[in-house]
Amino acid sequence: MDDKIYQNYFFDEPAFNTHDGGYVPLVPANIEPQRLRIPEIAKPDKRDGQDVYYTLTAQTGEVQLLPGAKTKTWGYNAPLLGQTFVFNSGETIHMHLVNELPELTTFHWHGLNIPGPIEDGGCHAPVYPKGSRDVTFTLHQPAAMTWLHAHPCPETAAQVWHGLAAAVIVKDDHEAALPLPRHYGVDDIPIILQDRHFHANNQWDYRADYDPDGVQGPTPMLNGTINPYFDVTTQKLRLRFLDGANRREWRLHFSNDLPFTQIAGDSSLLPHPIKLTHLMITCAERQEIVVDFKNYHAGDTVQLFSDDVPILTLRIHDFKPDQQIIPENLFTLKTPPIDPEEPVKTVTMSGMDEGVLLDGTKFQMQRIDYTMPMHQVQIWDIVNSNNTRNGMIHPFHMHGLSFQVLSRNGKAPYPNETGLKDVVSVNPEEHVRIKVWFNVPGIFMYHCHILEHEDGGMMAQIKVVDPKHPDVHYDLMDHMTLMSAFAKERGVSMADLWLGGMQSYQEMGMDM
């Protein structure tokens, strides 16, 4: 491994969210330390060879997050967040989706390369209260941590804020053969990074906190735990970070600038591990690191910080020496060649607050913005037109595929984005070029993953056509159908319905 240790966050500092006019600083919670919650692994209903069957329920709950009243929450097979699903590449997953929430929702498999729009679980696949839906998909992709979250338009942000987010780990034979920590809950830990504002009686109030540039809260919450600690019982610890926050960027580092090794990003292992002391993770990204505590002893503590705020305490216990070395070659990135006949496609993310647009317009659920054949390989040029003086970083996400980052303003991508990804954050006035190809057909969304921005229309839709079946028809939902359902479920008229994303269209004088 290269001995170089990266000590910066890579992104443009003037665009950090700390400079936002609506920035909400993190504040350590003044409560007794709580053991970090480790989500249970979801157990299948049955297995039949490579066919695996699950029941997945979106449900309400109450959780003791702070002293006093329990906080009302939502979750997947759990009162808050969800159980962790562990899939193996090559398996066919049969999922029985159940909605026990008071309003419609969808089940989006963020990072899974599966057909759309129904299996993918975007806005065209609603499951109504007391209803269910069955989906089946086969996985063919490298080992990675992906995730599950709600994606109904324009209520994605509020439902994730209520708690609908869970880790999904994809395994394969290649990753399983590497000398990496993988004892779930012991030395292999998912960390879902979120932030919340607690109102009266320890409750969350999304509308009170609403900000069209992204809702933030002052209290860090990791895996649904406030002021968490984790007992370290092994020399090496694998942390799988997911930025599951609506808006917040997390700039992570350990006390004493303890170096660590990044081994994976969104959709695959990195080709080669890199060493860092500082790691910035933006909305919906995943970053996997291995921390080595060989120079620490039982009774020591190490803190994980975001900026200057401690968010997790690692309590060191006795551990056995671990002489295994992370391989220099973790993953061979094999991507198909670019079709030289295809022009570069430009996608422009513009605006802030209610004025966010993608390619100069706002999302319409029944509009196809681009059509592309399956397996065609094209360069996409992702542009952030915000200015560098007061603009913000926009995280760009595509459903249904993993892409390769080629360049940033004509230069090499960041050292930790050399594997496969499905989110790439773009600095103001920056062009990020990515290699795009789909191995599955369907209707897929691509958008900014600041959740309030996508609800506010910073999103578009692509139709991926299977040349063997070019005439497949997709019945697409529309905004009015979903909003009418929300109004009915809440017992209000359409005139009195409030959904955060509606405001962004109204402020711009645009119809949904």
Residues 6+ apart with CB under 8 A from 47: 53
> What's the pLDDT score for residue 1?
55
Q: Let me know if residue 226 belongs to a domain.
A: yes
CATH of the domain at 245: 2.60.40.420
Q: Let me know if residue 248 belongs to a domain.
A: yes
Stated as kind and residue range, the H or E segment containing 432 is strand 430-436
Cβ atoms 430, 349 nearer than 8 A: no
Q: Residues 293-301: what's their mean pLDDT?
A: 98
Q: Let me know if residue 358 belongs to a domain.
A: no
Q: What percent of the chain has pLDDT over 70?
A: 100
Q: What percent of the chain has pLDDT over 90?
A: 98
Q: Let me know if residue 444 belongs to a domain.
A: no
Q: Let me know if residue 191 belongs to a domain.
A: yes
> What's the pLDDT score for residue 130?
98
pLDDT in tens, 14-44: 999 999 999 999 999 999 999 999 999 999 9
pLDDT in tens, 173-207: 999 999 999 999 999 999 999 999 999 999 999 99
Integer Cα distance of 127 and 407 in angstroms? 39
Q: Which domain holds residue 259?
A: 5-15+185-316
> What's the pLDDT score for residue 498?
96
Does residue 2 register a pLDDT over 80? no
Instruction: Say how many domains are in the chain.
Output: 1
Reported confidence tier of residue 511, pLDDT bands at 50, 70, 90: confident
SS3 361: strand
Long-range own/partner contacts, residues 16-20 (CB < 8 A, 24 or more apart): 16/249, 16/251, 16/393, 17/216, 17/247, 17/248, 17/249, 17/392, 17/393, 18/307, 19/390, 20/213, 20/392
Q: Considering the chain, what is the average pLDDT of its residues?
A: 97
pLDDT in tens, 451-506: 999 999 999 999 999 999 999 999 999 999 999 999 999 999 999 999 999 989 99
**For residue 349, which of 395, 380, 389 has the smallest C-alpha distance?**
395
Integer Cα distance of 264 and 269 in angstroms? 4
pLDDT in tens, 69-107: 999 999 999 999 999 999 999 999 999 999 999 999 999
pTM strictly above 0.95:
yes
Q: Let me know if residue 41 belongs to a domain.
A: no
